Amino acid sequence: MIRRPWYRSKTSPASCREVGRVLQHYLDSEMDPEWAARVTEHLEACKDCGLEEETYREIKSSLARRQPSATDDAVARLREFGRSLTDD
């Protein structure tokens, strides 16, 4: 979950740069509710960022429709491969 260690303050509006940094996490619902609310507010007010959000949502939706879900076996193999990379 994305916390808010780097943005200005709890009450200041989110900037385009801040929203750009966390947009994927926002779309994946991986943010604390307070920060997600600030991103939502920014997206509703900023046409450019709102269009970027819409584009990413369309891409995610398209990918979800076209790709089958990974099998449990494939996920297990991928996790094992990842562990092997970190083993000394």
Please give the Cα distance from 71 to 7 (Å, whole number): 38
pLDDT of residue 67: 65
pLDDT of residue 50: 92
Q: What is the mean pLDDT of residues 23-42?
A: 92
- CA–CA distance from 58 to each of 45, 65, 75, 88 (Å)? 20, 11, 25, 41
Beta carbons within 10 angstroms of residue 57's beta carbon: 11
Mind giving me the DSSP string for 28-55?
TT-B-HHHHHHHHHHHHH-HHHHHHHHH
Please give the Cα distance from 42 to 1 (Å, whole number): 20
The per-residue pLDDT for range 52-65, each reduced to its tens digit, is 999 999 988 888 88
The per-residue pLDDT for range 66-82, each reduced to its tens digit, is 766 778 888 888 888 88
pLDDT above 80 for 25: yes
